[in-house]
Amino acid sequence: MDILKTKAEMQTWSAAKKRQGKSIAFVPTMGYLHKGHVSLLEIGKPLSDELVLSIFVNPTQFGPNEDLDAYPSNIQNDLDLAEQAGVTAVFLPDKNEMYGPDYQTHVYLDHLPRYLCGRSRPIHFGGVATVVTKLFNIVMPDVAVFGKKDFQQLAVIRQMVKDLDFNIRIIGGEIIRETDGLAMSSRNAYLTPAQRASAVCLSRAINLLKQRVDQGVRSVPDLVREAESFILSFDHTRIDYIELCHPRTLEPVDTVQSETLLALAVQVGKSRLIDNALIGPT
Amino acid sequence: MDILKTKAEMQTWSAAKKRQGKSIAFVPTMGYLHKGHVSLLEIGKPLSDELVLSIFVNPTQFGPNEDLDAYPSNIQNDLDLAEQAGVTAVFLPDKNEMYGPDYQTHVYLDHLPRYLCGRSRPIHFGGVATVVTKLFNIVMPDVAVFGKKDFQQLAVIRQMVKDLDFNIRIIGGEIIRETDGLAMSSRNAYLTPAQRASAVCLSRAINLLKQRVDQGVRSVPDLVREAESFILSFDHTRIDYIELCHPRTLEPVDTVQSETLLALAVQVGKSRLIDNALIGPT
C-alpha cells in the first residue's frame, strides 16, 4: 500500500496506473475510519484494479463554530483498516498541501445546498463540492464511492459530476449501523455514555415514522410533530431539523405520496448527528 | 478528422486515445476561426499525439445586453481551417448538449474576475471558468492553449487549473495582429469600414504608452490620460477601460515600476474590442 502525501505524488501515481490501463476506485474520507468507511472500500474493491483512500479533514467545509479542531483522528488505525480492505494507495495530504496561499477558486451549486443540513451549515456543501473537485482531479478515479448517511452530500456530488461532466461513476453505499440502530459516524466518538444512549433516538424516530406511514399517515406536519416529541423525550437532544423531501431535488413535501426522503439532524451533547431513510410508497 | 457532437462521444474518443497512451492537446474556441486561433492550433500540434478543437458559443459567459445572438459563425470554414492545422477531433456540441435542464453547478474565482473586463462583464469569467472546467472534463487534455489577447481569461484559467488541481498544462499563445496592428478577433467582423479604420486605435495606444514609458513616464494617471485622449481622437470610439495592473494579480498600479500589464477595452461601433501588452522594466 502506497502512502502519498503530496498532490504531485498522488497525480503521478494515478497517471502511471492509467497509462498501464488500470482502473481506479476512490473513497474520499476525513479519516477516523469506522465500519461505514470500510463498507465503502469493500464496494470499491471489486470494481477496479486500484483502490485509493484519501484522508483529509477539509477546513473549508466547516463553519466558524463547528468541530474542525475537535475532529477525531487516528491515522495508524486508518492505515491498518485500509490495508486490510485492500487499499492500494492512501492520499494523506497535510493542511497546507491542499490550498495554496493565493487560493481563490470555488465550486458551488444553486439549489441542493439550500435544504436540510445546508440551512444550518451554509458554507458546507460549497466546501465539499470544491474539495471533491480537487480530489477527483488529483486521484483521477473511474469510480468513487460515498456513503448514503450523508445523503445530501451524495446528492450534491452526483449533481456536480453530471453538471461539470466528470467522467466518474458515483456509487452510494448503504448506511452501516450499530446493533441498536445508531448510524456509524466518526462524530459518535464525542458522545458520553449517557449521550450515546440517547443517540439511538434518530434511527428509532425513522422507524416510528416508517410505521406511521405504513399505517396510512400522509401529513408531513403530523409526522414531523410526532418525531419531534419522540426525540425530545430523550435526554441531551436538540433538534436541528426533521424534514421530508423529494429524494432528488431535496425540496420539502407536504404529504407523503411517493418515495420520500426522511432526513434529520439532532444535536446530542457535542455531536451533531444525522440520519435518513427513504420512506413511503415506491 | 473526427467530428463529435455529444459529450459522451467526445469523452469516449478521448478515453480511447488515453488508453492507447496518446497525449491530447486542446484549443477551446467559440468558432469563427481566424489566424489567432490557427496559431494556437499550431502551438498545440507538435506538443501531443492528438489535437482537439472545440467550437461552442457558451451562453453563460455573455451578459443580458451582450452579443450572444449576433456572435458570428462559419462552421464549414472552421472545419476547413481545423483540418489544415492538423486537428484530429472537433468537439462541436449544440446549445442543449452542454447544459441540462436542471443544471446548477458553477465555478467562480474570488479576485481575478473583479478587475479589467470583469467590471463591465460581471458574470463573464464565472461562465468561462465553468465551461472550461466542463470542457476539460469532457476532452481530458494533457495540455490546453489559450490566446494572450484574452489576457484576463488566461490568468483566470491558470489560477483555476492550479486551485482545482487539474493535471493539465496551460500555454498562452501570442496575440496575432492584422498588418496595421489590430489584434485579430472574431468580433472584428462586426466593424464597418469606417469603424475598422478606427479600430487601430487600440494597438496604436499601446505603442504610444510603450514609447512614453521608455521615455521615462511612470505615472499611471498621466499615461492613462494620454491614451484616453489619443483613443477618443478616433471616430466611433467609446472607452470601457484603460488600465495598468500587476500581470499576475491584475491589481491596479499607480506607477510603472516593474513589468506591468497594459490592458484596454474600447467599444468601436457594435464591437467591444480588447488588446493588451506587457510594458515597463522587466
Residue B112 included in any domain: yes
B163–A104: do the CB atoms touch at under 8 Å?
yes
Residue-wise pLDDT tens digits, B209-260: 999 999 999 999 999 999 999 999 999 999 999 999 999 999 999 999 999 9
Same-domain check for residues A109 and A245: no
Q: Residues 6 or more apart from B123 whose CB is under 8 A from it?
A: B60, B61, B63
CA distance linking residue A135 with residue A153, whole number of Å: 15
The reported pLDDT for the residue numbered B125 is: 96
Residue B181 lies in a domain: no
Binding residues of A: 30-37, 61, 147-150, 153, 176, 184-187
B236 and B155 in one domain? no
Chosen domain end from B173, B208, B231: B173
Spatial neighbors of A76 by CB under 8 A, at least 6 apart, are none
pLDDT average, residue stretch A101-106: 96
**How many contacts (CB atoms, under 8 Å) link A and B?**
87
- Annotation-wise, does B160 bind a ligand? no
Which residues in chain B are contacts of A18 at CB distance < 8 A?
A: 18
pLDDT at A95: 82
Known binding-site residue numbers of A for (R)-pantoate: 61, 153
Q: How far apart are CA B47 and CA A245, in angstroms?
A: 51
What is the per-residue pLDDT for B95? Answer: 82
Question: Is residue A103 in a domain?
Answer: yes
A-chain CB neighbours of B100 within 8 Å are 162-163
Inter-chain contact B105–A21, Cβ cutoff 8 Å? no
Same domain flag for A133 and A198: no
Query: How confident is the model over A244-249, as a mean pLDDT?
Result: 97
What is the Cα–Cα distance from A233 to A198, expressed in whole angstroms?
9
Per-residue pLDDT, averaged over A225-238, amounts to 97
Cross-chain Cβ contact B167/A140 below 8 Å: yes
| B8 shares its domain with B109 | yes
The predicted pLDDT at position A1 comes to 98
Q: Does the distance separating the beta carbons of B164 and A137 come in below 8 Å?
A: yes
Please report whether residue A234 resides in a domain.
yes
**A150-165 mean pLDDT:** 98
Domain count, chain B: 2
Given its phi and psi angles, is residue B21 left (phi above 0), alpha (psi -120 to 50 degrees) or beta?
left
What is the value of ipTM here, to two decimals? Answer: 0.95
> What CATH number has the domain bearing residue B121?
3.40.50.620
Which residue, of A146, A173, A200, is where some domain finishes? Answer: A173
Give me the mean pLDDT over the A3-12 stretch: 98
Cβ atoms of B15 and B140 closer than 8 Å: yes
| Inter-chain touch A134–B165, beta carbons under 8 Å | yes
* B interface test, pick of A24, A58, A104, A161 with most B CB neighbours within 10 Å: A104
Does A78 lie in the same domain as A116?
Answer: yes
* pLDDT for residue A115 is more than 90: yes
pLDDT tens figures, B77-86 = 999 999 999 9
Q: Which of B130, B145, B173 is the last residue of a domain?
A: B173
Residue A109 has pLDDT above 90, yes or no: yes
Residues of chain A in contact with residue B163, where contact means CB-CB under 8 angstroms, are 99-100, 103-105, 134
Judged against a pLDDT cut of 90, whether residue A55 lies above it is answered with yes
Whether residue B236 sits in one domain with residue B151:
no
In a domain, B282, yes or no: no
Interface test mutation site (partner A, options B98, B104, B162, max chain A beta carbons within 10 A)? B104
Residue B49, domain extent = 2-173
Estimate to the nearest angstrom the gap between the alpha carbon of B10 and the chain centroid: 23
Statement to judge: residues B90 and B144 lie in one domain: yes
Torsion sign across C-alpha atoms B79, B82, B83, B87: negative
Residue A179 lies in a domain: no
**CA distance, residue B110 to nearest chain A CA (Å):** 5
Nearest CB partner across the interface for B104, out of A105, A110, A130:
A110
How far is the C-alpha of A50 from the C-alpha of A26, rounded, in Å?
A: 8
Q: Is residue B150 part of a domain?
A: yes
Q: Please give the C-alpha separations between residue B4 and each of A132, B53, B186, in angstroms, as whole numbers.
A: 29, 10, 23
Query: pLDDT category, A226, cuts 50, 70, 90?
Result: very high
If asked whether residues B150 and B124 sit together in one domain, one would say: yes
Cβ <8 Å between A104 and B18: no
Interface test with B, best of A99, A105, A166 (most B CBs within 10 A): A105
Q: Is A37 one of the catalytic residues?
A: yes
pLDDT at A99: 96
Low-confidence ranges of chain B (pLDDT < 70): none
Whether residue A149 sits in one domain with residue A192: no
Statement to judge: residues A98 and A198 lie in one domain? no
Residues A103 and A167 in one domain: yes
Task: Give domain status of residue B232, yes or no.
Answer: yes
Average pLDDT, stretch A47-67? 95
Q: Report the pLDDT value the prediction gives residue A157, as an integer from 0 to 100.
A: 98
Q: Name the DSSP letter for residue B255.
A: B
Q: What is the pLDDT of residue A59?
A: 94
CB pair distance less than 8 Å for A104 and B159? yes
